[in-house]
Structure 1
Amino acid sequence: MTVAACSAHGTSSTPDKGTDRPDLAVTGAYVPEPPMADMAAGYLTVANTGRAADRLTSVTSDIATDVTMHSTTSAGAMKKETALPVPAGGRLVLSTGGDHLMLMGLKRKPKASDTVTFVLRFAASPPITVKAPVKPATYRPDQ
């Protein structure tokens, strides 16, 4: 399912939030206008109101040849990840200075007011397509 702007919802087979499955929704997606022409970062939040955990296992984008997931240690070091956890009843938060997406091999440099499409793939849930607005490099969402 594709949802415009900065949110998307998974396609759960049942609307009951008390199921023993993940129930995922994506909010707050954005891409800061990158200073370089060959890479950019992506941020979003995946909320899971279900009773089962899930994992974000891969991401693709319309503007990048490769999208990698990175965690950030308490010392500020980045580490490439093959999956990121989405806890049951919790959230996976990808944010500036924290865990994030790296878009490599850009086909075009995104500019403020553009839109970047992400397809998020999970271990247990169906893929979610997200339309993320490109924001000015100085943009910081309200936390």
Structure 2
Amino acid sequence: MRRTVLSAAVLAGALALAGCGNGADSGPGTDSGKGSGSGSGSDASKAELSVSASYMPQPVSADMAAGFLTISNQGGAKDELTSVTSDVAGQVTMHSTVGGAMEEKTSFAIPAHGRLVFSSGGNHLMFEQLKRKPEQGQTVTLKLGFARSGPLTVEMPVKSATYNPSTGH
């Protein structure tokens, strides 16, 4: 129990160091960790998902890290993010943050013609039971699973522990 509380405190510190974002996308062309879309046609009854603005602040803990990204849906149908896996972690969990309180979620809705944002201070991914500690300049591979669309593979760059997408540092 003490280890869990300590790990949560270390992660909370890392999230604070990463800077509290407002959920805004960092803009086009700024992400080297893009995923491929699951829909290639213009069928309005399908979700057309893509990933941008992905990054992981270099973890300060040897066993836990946070991750952030934006999933955009250009299609006319909603979808849900239902799972995240990575070869760097024993498990990846999804969390919402409301009023400073973190809550683990089993899925997140992605609205038609909308987006789902994971940003510092808000929704975020937690990489738990790290198999190796990712270092700045490396990439971490994620596999995103959805309720209706096929999976997306994302190469998430590891940034400095204090990286703030709104400043680029």
Q: Deviations over 1:91-120 (max 9, x none)?
A: 000000000000000000011001100000
- Gaps in structure 1 of 5+ consecutive residues: none
Structure with a larger share of its residues in strand: 1
User: Is the Cα contact below 8 Å between 1:116 and 1:131 reproduced in 2?
Assistant: yes
1:120 equivalent among 120, 138, 144: 144
After TM superposition, what 4+ stretches of structure 1 lie above 4 angstroms from structure 2? none
User: Is the Cα contact below 8 Å between 2:69 and 2:117 reproduced in 1?
Assistant: yes
Task: Note if 1:108 corresponds to 2:169.
Answer: no
Q: Aligned-pair distance for 1:142?
A: 2.7
How many residues were matched structurally?
Answer: 137
- 2-side partners of 1:76 and 1:9: how far apart? 33
- Gaps in structure 2 of 5+ consecutive residues: 1-30
Q: Aligned-pair distance for 1:20?
A: 1.1
Structure with a larger share of its residues in helix: 2
Taking structure 2 as the reference length, the TM-score comes to 0.78
CA RMSD of aligned residues (A): 1.4
Match of 1:133 in 2: 157
Residue identity (%): 51
Task: Note if 1:55 corresponds to 2:80.
Answer: yes
Query: Which letter maps to 1:107?
Result: K
Larger Rg: 2
Query: Which letter maps to 1:93?
Result: V
1:82 equivalent among 89, 103, 106: 106
